[in-house]
Amino acid sequence: MSTATHTMTIDGKAVTAAATINAVNPATEQVVGTAPDCSREQLDQAVAAARHAFSAWSATPLNERRAVLGRMAGVLAANAATLGELLSQEQGKPLAKAQEEVLISAHWCAEVAKLPLEPDTLADTPDSLVQVHRVPIGVVGAIVPWNFPVALAFFKIAPALLAGNTMVLKPSPLTPLTALKFGELLRDALPPGVFNVVSGGDALGPWMTAHPGIDKISFTGSTATGRKVMESGAATLKRLTLELGGNDAAIVLPDVDVNAVAPLIFWGAFANSAQFCLAIKRLYIHDAVYDRLSQALAKLAGSVKLGAATEAGVELGPVQNKAQFERLKGLLADCKAQGLRLLAGGEVAQQPGYFFPVTLVDNPPESSRIVQEEPFGPILPLLRFTDIDDAVARANASPYGLGASVWTADEAQGLAIGRRLQAGTVWVNEIHTISPIKPMAGHKQSGLGVEQGEDGLLEYTLPQTVSLKRGGQASGAGA
């Protein structure tokens, strides 16, 4: 692969750069492609193209913008095999899961296109008409992480474009190739300048968040970086949507069917090799079922196949990058240094690739790093409790509040406990049922603003109240 294959999209055209960055396959630690390293001048060009395109795009009738999103969905679906293969190479996830992510993104475009965005009429009388219109903000800078590089991009692209904004998208420098490829594929589906894709190293994100030509930043990533985004955007009072880190708690009550819930909880924790902002990261299990459920989870951990994306039957791939891999090894070493018991995993193979085994930690102290920190990888603390109020208090004792789940045979009790959890999304007897119509918001230090659903769409708009005095007679404070 080469920069000739992977180009940025600026004003509808293929653009290279003087410098490049490498994309590494985390299963082999080998370079699988190069991406342009966008210069500050090229970013200026992308922003200028988006600003120039904004006037016509924002004036395009809503139904026509809906149709464009439909065409985008078709392009993604038609190229799912190509994009999925590229995604699996640079991200590490199994090929089937990579293709599934592309198809989910196509589905997202098609469904977001159906969301309502008509004016809200507050008064319509013989004397007056008062309406609230939702107008686009302008140029949106979208900054996307490496765990779901396609889906998390389209979670931003679809609502931003539907609302009438234009966009400059920056993928993670660790997974730039797939975004550059779908930017190339979508060039004919959109007017030039409406959707631009730039790639680059660590300097590019700060350039975007401080850029005076960008009106809103939509960022998904760590809480620490989210604070920097917020600080950088303050100078120009940028609108912000920040979907940040989490340390999601799950509470399992003693009345569960252990055999039924064990696989759901396992994949709720370890899907995408636990590189998932909404993954279960603290599992509180009632003492009455702790031993049975922990044994069932350990059995699943021992049976799951870990390997490269191209291997048959692989269910979990490697950790995406070396820095995260080393951080997970540090957490594991800390567990061992504390003398904590491991119910599964715990031995990292000496081989090429960032392969980290599914690891279960048996009832560590609440103060331990593995409980207090977000691992963002396949190591999970199992925590005993006997009192529900205590479990809720421990679950809430976190600076994060992204997601949570409750598992019980008593639906009423599950809903009551769920309402007490300080998280933006709470699941009862299910998990990760994310949808284009369900709003998702981080509480506390897990984010700012809303993604998904009608509320998420409105994040890409500004309210404009239009008030008309009927009858030809002017009125006002001075009349």
Indicate which residues carry an active-site annotation.
Answer: 243, 277
3-class DSSP assignment, residue 255: coil
State the burial class of residue 425 (Cβ atoms within 10 Å of its Cβ: 0-12, 13-18, 19+).
Answer: buried
Round the CA-based radius of gyration of the chain to a whole number and report it. 24
Distance CA 209, CA 250 (A): 34
Q: Is 42 within 8 Å of 17 (Cβ atoms)?
A: yes
Q: How far is Cα 193 from Cα 165, in angstroms, rounded to an integer?
A: 11
Neighbour-count burial of 308, counting CB atoms closer than 10 A to its CB (0-12 exposed, 13-18 middle, 19+ buried): buried
The residues pairing with 13 across neighbouring beta strands, listed in sequence order, are 10
Pick the closest to residue 73 from 223, 182, 206, 225 (CA basis): 182
| Residue 197: other Cβ atoms inside 10 A | 29
Q: Strand ranges (DSSP E) for 137-253?
A: 139-143, 166-170, 195-197, 216-220, 239-243, 249-252
Measuring CA to CA, how many Å separate 192 from each of 6, 139, 175, 207?
Answer: 18, 14, 24, 22
What is the b/e burial string over 45-63, where b = at least 16 CB atoms within 10 angstroms of the residue's CB?
bbbbbbbebbeebbeeeee
Closest alpha carbon to 268 in 105, 427, 145: 427
- What does the alpha-carbon distance between residue 358 and residue 380 come to, in Å, rounded to a whole number? 8
